[in-house]
Structure 1
Amino acid sequence: MGIMINPPCMQQYSILWADDEIEFLKPHILFLEKKGYTVKAVNSGADALEAAEEQNFDIVFLDENMPGMSGLETLTAIKAIRPSLPAIMITKSEEEHIMEDAIGAKIADYLIKPVNPNQILLSIKKILDQKRLVTEKTNLSYQQDFRNLSMIFQDDLNFDEWIEAYKKLIYWELEIEDTENQSMQEILESQKEEANISFAKFIQNNYEYWLNDANEDEYPMMSHDIMGEWVFPLLEDKKLNEERPLFFILIDNLRYDQWKVVECLLAEYFTVKEEKVYCSILPTTTAYARNAIFSGLLPSEMAEDHPDIWVSDQEEGGKNNFEDEFLRRQMKEFGFGDTKTTYNKILRNHQGKQLVENFNNLQQNELNVIVYNFVDMLSHARTDTAVVRELAPDEAAYRSVTKSWFLHSPLWDMLKKIAEVNGRLIITTDHGTIRTKRPYKIIGDRNTNTNLRYKQGKNLNYNPKNVLVAKDPAKFFLPRQNVSTSFVFTTEDYFFAYPNNYNHYVKYYKDTFQHGGISLEEMIIPFIELEAK
């Protein structure tokens, strides 16, 4: 399969150039006009302001040291009437305070005389043509990588190779999102769908084997392993724990692509010491995957070893009310029972603010575990609330909403405080989500669970194509309610719908973000260790 890129449409730009020695700049102006730009030249700030009032320009060049209105004064006046007009300041002075004033006035670029025509041209292209040039380069690079990716998805990959393939897809998704017309977006989405078809087959062929027969080098890191393998070893130096406490922050439903947009926000305060990825267990839900993290056990082991705090799908009430107790018992099992530890779950904004206010007390502990439920609340609210549904109609918007929440959340304030005290930080999640697009008919009795990406119950009726069936839950380390109980997991972007209310389900849940099933987005998830700068 080949992909075609439309040739770019060159745009003619108009430039306003103000300099009290404009006559000496005619060679520069002729150079730009030969390149296809139109240039209006004036020799004072007042004339520049008058021209900006009468005509639209794409960019303005301002000499800083003009008699009458200075370049900065002219810039301020022009910005008042044309706030989005990019300005390039040109000056003979290299004084730092002038540069700072110009930057503070939101100039687009700063050039020091004497300037040559190519400097001017580069500055113009950087400002006016950047989006077009980035689009062309990104589209061409993705076109070159497209065939390689398609061939990779047809290979017999191991889990580490799937991680790298998925990371590459996310890289291109974020790069294309930043392009001007996003002409490659539809092709990338098709390639992600192709990847998820292959990944579903990979999980179907390997998941049961991993849990029962795999050698250590064949077995990926999974939910129930991460505390024992990746977190507890960081607590072995008790002196370090007391000097620099470890903060373990779990943001539920945080997909790898969402982490990548959050990562750039953290760059001012933290460096990424190590970016790891692990595999969520099935079902990819809070009740199973997050409890597995804090207990260090698979679901059937939790049900058998801790029946007093394990809550099944059939029982009423919350399924994650005992995460702190699961954690306490796991820490004791690993020999960290005397480690000073706190556990906080943030369900509402005011709880997050209270925790920030209590930060000094958190510093007295060796390990602080904080669970943020907001992303989970966002994904489910998106299903139920028309306003949120409009805010996040696709993956790009979902990432944007997550980024906006992150910047305005108490979690952001908490992370800055951790950086201030040179605390150690881990950010991770329990599972991801996928935007569901296609309904999948299934019939179950009244005791069948409500999740749209997996079902457990007895006498389930469905087409066995495009699902993973655990007829013997014990082989998947899943608790069995009775002899005929089975688990069925959706793959790709399907969601379960009941035939007796089919149209309602399709209308209500199509294009919503769900979890519980098998997809790259739900199962390949980030575990990030950061160091304060």
Structure 2
Amino acid sequence: MSAPRILWVDDEIDLLRSHVMFLENKDYEVQTTSNGADAVDYVREDLFDVVLLDEQMPGMDGLETLEAIKEVRPELPVVLVTKSEEEDLMERALGNQISDYLTKPVNPSQILLTCKRLLERTQLRQETLSQDYLESFNEISQALREPLTHADWTALYRKLVHYDLELTEDEGARQIFQDQFKEANREFGNFIESNYADWIDATDAPPDPNRPPLSHEVISEFVLPELGDDPVVFFVIDCLRYDQWRTFEELLHPHFSIETDFYYSLLPTATPYSRNAIFSGLLPVELVDRFPGAWETDEEDEHSRNQHEEPFLHDQLDRHHYGDLSIRYDKLITGKEGQEFAQQATNLTQHDLSAVVVNFVDILAHSRSDSDVLKELAPDEEAYRALTRTWFEHSWLLDSLRTLADTDCTVVLTTDHGAIRSLRSSKVIGDRETSTALRYKYGRNLKCDEEDAIFVRNPKEFGLPRYGMNTNYIFAKEDFYFVYPTNFHHYENLYRDTLQHGGASMQEMILPIATLTPR
């Protein structure tokens, strides 16, 4: 590895020769200059890891030089060395993005520690994280061998997402982590298979700590209790996972106090089931009975099966005796719709409850499956998260939330399901009437490897409608996706490494629901 390179800018640099030699003896390469103009030229023509910049220099002073350096290399760390600690100076320097400042006179050890902190903090942090994870590895492995509750699984998933977000540089530790994540998802699928029917059976009873809140209970448990003097704005972001929410949360913390809870998506973890359940407050089998004909069984166009969310919401509020509320509902699919919405975001506070469905993240997930360009931009989980964050950071949605942060309201934000990179195929046999989704299917006499899927032979036990006497469902576990035997290898390759939902994985089922209160 090459020596870290420091550019030291000071009009009395000759008096600092002993300091420079000290750094060079510590294996730093130090380039010196006595004026700001030359410093900007050096930065433009060469690569440095950090700049030590004197604040008081004739000609271009330190702040002017800092501004010029940031125009050339905005990411380059700059340490301002100053005789003054005036508040105004520090505010202007911080506004120009200095990484640190030192007050003269400085000694060589101060300089060394500052450079070491700036240049090595990423490496040191990764080493600490890697060690922390490796110490947690046995703890997680032991937990996976024990009976876990739904709350235990949520805590474990949160821990895994933490390491997924932070453990980015140590390839060895990350490979161990990814293998353990796969193992955890395998056990999670078995957990869902063993417990889900009991959860559905218990939904008519009073709240049971032995089961998590489910999709059809989101509004009653998390939204209605917030109704009071201030209006409530309820956002449902289609196909948003917890790891993506964590990156959104960072951008919202300056504007809101945030409390994040969790619920579990119903199966299948797909929009027609999970989001209809959120707005109706009903299990899919109950929804079909209460609104015959409102839910089309043709799933070629997924969005056509979510055309009745607004009347479903009104019906649910009526059942909970909130029928006299002023209600607003928006579903935003295109960027133009979102921008128009953001310009009028304050209008949401004119209603007791506003419900807003945001489809972009789901569109992004499906587009990645169909676009070689997006696959190149987001080849793995880390890059997909970064792509989603970049959208949010510059989106009409963030603009809308910032606007709401300046009002007296409560924001409840959640998702209907997550998604998983589907990397392994599972051969499935069914007739022509079998549904077309890749992570779940329903039809007559479906067959596939029972290790790869949850088989539902009695749909009512899972709260699901039956479309014929012999209807059964299968839900993919782990990262499997279903492929028919006909042209198997063609479709196996076509759908491998696409983002899908509908099955039983932590990413699809364990979902954040955040309550945001303006600061």
Give the structure-1-normalised TM-score. 0.91
Instruction: Give the secondary-structure state (helix, strand or coil) at the position aligned to 1:468.
Output: strand
Structure 2 CA distance for partners of 1:222 and 1:113, relative to 1, 3 Å = same
Note the 1:248-327 alignment, pairs <5 A: 248-272=234-258, 274-313=259-298, 318-327=304-313
Amino acid at match of 1:474: K
Q: 1:221 aligns with which of 213, 223, 236?
A: 213
Aligned to 1:212: 201
Residues in 2 aligned to 1:83 and 1:367: alpha-carbon distance in whole angstroms: 43
Residues in 2 aligned to 1:196 and 1:26: alpha-carbon distance in whole angstroms: 59
Task: Say how many residue pairs are matched.
Answer: 515
Say yes or no: does 1:462 pair with 2:462: no
Structure 2 CA distance for partners of 1:151 and 1:50, relative to 1, 3 Å = same
Mind listing any 5+ residue stretches in structure 1 that lack a counterpart?
A: 1-8
1:106, CA displacement in angstroms? 3.5
Note the 1:384-395 alignment, pairs <5 A: 384-395=370-381
1:392, CA displacement in angstroms? 2.0
Say yes or no: does 1:330 pair with 2:319: no
Q: 1:200 aligns with which of 179, 189, 210?
A: 189
- Identical aligned residues as a percent: 44
Mind listing any 5+ residue stretches in structure 2 that lack a counterpart?
A: none
1:101, CA displacement in angstroms? 3.7
Residues in 2 aligned to 1:409 and 1:102: alpha-carbon distance in whole angstroms: 29
1:47, CA displacement in angstroms? 5.8
Aligned to 2:438: 452
Q: 1:33 aligns with which of 9, 24, 28?
A: 24
Give the structure-2-normalised TM-score. 0.93
Q: Is the 8 A contact 1:383 1:508 kept in 2?
A: no
Say yes or no: does 1:369 pair with 2:375: no
Say yes or no: does 1:433 pair with 2:424: no
1:20, CA displacement in angstroms? 3.1
Structure 2 CA distance for partners of 1:77 and 1:301, relative to 1, 3 Å = closer
Note the 1:19-418 alignment, pairs <5 A: 19-45=10-36, 48=39, 56-76=47-67, 85-177=76-168, 179=169, 181-212=170-201, 216-235=208-227, 237=228, 240=229, 244-272=230-258, 274-313=259-298, 318-418=304-404
Once the two structures are overlaid, the 10-residue window that deviates more, 393-402 or 62-71, is 62-71
Q: Is the 8 A contact 2:154 2:262 kept in 1?
A: yes
Q: Is the 8 A contact 2:267 2:503 kept in 1?
A: yes
Amino acid at match of 1:31: F
Structure 2 CA distance for partners of 1:66 and 1:321, relative to 1, 3 Å = same
Instruction: Give the secondary-structure state (helix, strand or coil) at the position aligned to 1:329.
Output: helix
Q: Is the 8 A contact 1:433 1:515 kept in 2?
A: yes
Once the two structures are overlaid, the 10-residue window that deviates more, 112-121 or 99-108, is 99-108
Residues in 1 aligned to 2:439 and 2:213: alpha-carbon distance in whole angstroms: 23
Amino acid at match of 1:118: S
1:77, CA displacement in angstroms? 5.3
Aligned to 1:3: none
Once the two structures are overlaid, the 10-residue window that deviates more, 14-23 or 523-532, is 14-23
RMSD: 2.2
Q: 2:472 aligns with which of 475, 486, 489?
A: 486
Q: Is the 8 A contact 2:232 2:349 kept in 1?
A: no
Amino acid at match of 2:220: G
Residues in 1 aligned to 2:240 and 2:251: alpha-carbon distance in whole angstroms: 15
Structure 2 CA distance for partners of 1:29 and 1:224, relative to 1, 3 Å = same
Residues in 1 aligned to 2:185 and 2:239: alpha-carbon distance in whole angstroms: 18
CA displacement, residues 205-260 of structure 1 (integer Å, 9 cap, x when unaligned): 1111222258822121111111112211222x3xx1xxx31000000111010100
Structure 2 CA distance for partners of 1:415 and 1:48, relative to 1, 3 Å = closer
Instruction: Give the secondary-structure state (helix, strand or coil) at the position aligned to 2:164.
Output: helix
1:81, CA displacement in angstroms? 6.0
Residues in 2 aligned to 1:476 and 1:53: alpha-carbon distance in whole angstroms: 64
Residues in 1 aligned to 2:51 and 2:140: alpha-carbon distance in whole angstroms: 44
Amino acid at match of 2:127: E
Q: Is the 8 A contact 1:222 1:279 kept in 2?
A: yes
Residues in 2 aligned to 1:50 and 1:347: alpha-carbon distance in whole angstroms: 48
Amino acid at match of 1:91: T
Residues in 2 aligned to 1:493 and 1:410: alpha-carbon distance in whole angstroms: 32
